[in-house]
Amino acid sequence: MKRFRLETALKVRERLEKLYQKALAEQVQLEQQYRDRKQLMQDALNNYNNELDEAKAHDVTINQLLMGGQFQQRIEQQLELTQDQLNEQLEVVELKRHELTQATQKKRVLEILKEKEIKKFRDETERLERLEADEIAQNYLRHS
């Protein structure tokens, strides 16, 4: 069978698609890390608020309240920063998904062209085989 004329381009597209898949996976992993970090900080803040509520029922000093307030402020700042990073990461992930989609579509176009070329080659081969079989049959009938 003859070689597909765009085979090299198809292989390049396949490699590109794999690279885009890998890049997307890395970005999704980073996104998950940001989500985990955000959840950890949210849990710490919730835990602090619960402990503060318990401490209010008991004796609490001004120093403890000041330190707790500073802790809460730092956590909230970090939480806001992490949310901003997460939002940026979501945009990156969306971009990587788009790149992967484009690469997959381009590869699929070449695959379709290859399938059409293979079908065309098979059809032509079958046509030539039928012609040869018809010619053999006609020669057999003539000599019989």
In this predicted model, what pLDDT tens digit does every residue of 94-114 receive, in sequence order? 999 999 999 999 999 999 999
Q: Residue 139 falls within a domain, yes or no?
A: no
pLDDT mean over 17-42: 96
Q: Residue 51 falls within a domain, yes or no?
A: yes
Q: Name the average pLDDT for the chain.
A: 91
Q: Residue 30 falls within a domain, yes or no?
A: yes
Q: Which residue has the tokens 């019989």?
A: 144
Q: Residue 95 falls within a domain, yes or no?
A: yes
Domain around 74 = 7-110
Q: Residue 24 falls within a domain, yes or no?
A: yes
Grade residue 1 by pLDDT with cuts at 50, 70 and 90: low
Q: Residue 143 falls within a domain, yes or no?
A: no
**What are the tens digits of pLDDT across the range 60-103?**
777 777 888 888 899 999 999 999 999 999 999 999 999 999 99
Query: Using the 8-state DSSP alphabet, how is residue 2 labeled?
Result: P
Overall pTM surpassing 0.85 (yes/no): no
Q: Residue 2 falls within a domain, yes or no?
A: no
Q: Residue 86 falls within a domain, yes or no?
A: yes
- Tell me: pLDDT of 39 over 90: yes
How many domains does the chain divide into?
A: 1
Q: Compute the half-sphere exposure of residue 39: CA atoms within 13 Å on the CB side of its CA.
A: 6
Buried-state track 127-137, b at ≥16 Cβ within 10 A, e below 16: eeeeeeeeeee
Identify the pLDDT of residue 7. Answer: 87
